[in-house]
Amino acid sequence: MRVLCSPSNEVELTLLKSLLDSEGIPYQVRSEFFSSSEVGPFISPFNIKTVLVREVDYDRAKRLLEVLKGSDFESPGA
């Protein structure tokens, strides 16, 4: 799996997941439920949600991400 991006909020994450689903691109969201289940301080490694896609789907997923280019996505290693 390859890191696609780290959306800055739940809305961006939901939009991206919807786009990936509509195109049939499998993905994983690291730490998807952790931050919503824990009350307390923001602990970066645990609270940041990261979207990962298969290497074979990365370029296609990256193009879909461009659809959301006006958003504040962080794209590690891009």
- Grouping H, G, I as helix, E, B as strand and the rest as coil, residue 74 is strand
Q: Would you say residue 72 lies in a domain?
A: no
Q: Would you say residue 43 lies in a domain?
A: yes
What digits encode the pLDDT tens for the residues 41-60? 656 666 788 999 999 999 99
C-alpha to C-alpha distance for 64 and 25, rounded to whole angstroms: 10
Q: What is the pLDDT at residue 5?
A: 93
Vertex 49, ends 43 and 55: CA angle to 5°?
Answer: 135
Q: In CATH, what number is assigned to the domain containing residue 60?
A: 3.30.70.790
Q: Would you say residue 73 lies in a domain?
A: no
CA count, 13 A, side-chain hemisphere, 50: 13
Sequence-distant (6+) residues with CB within 8 A of 58 are: 2, 4
Q: Would you say residue 54 lies in a domain?
A: yes
pTM exceeding the 0.85 threshold for the entire prediction = no
Q: How many domains does the chain have?
A: 1
Q: What is the pLDDT at residue 8?
A: 80
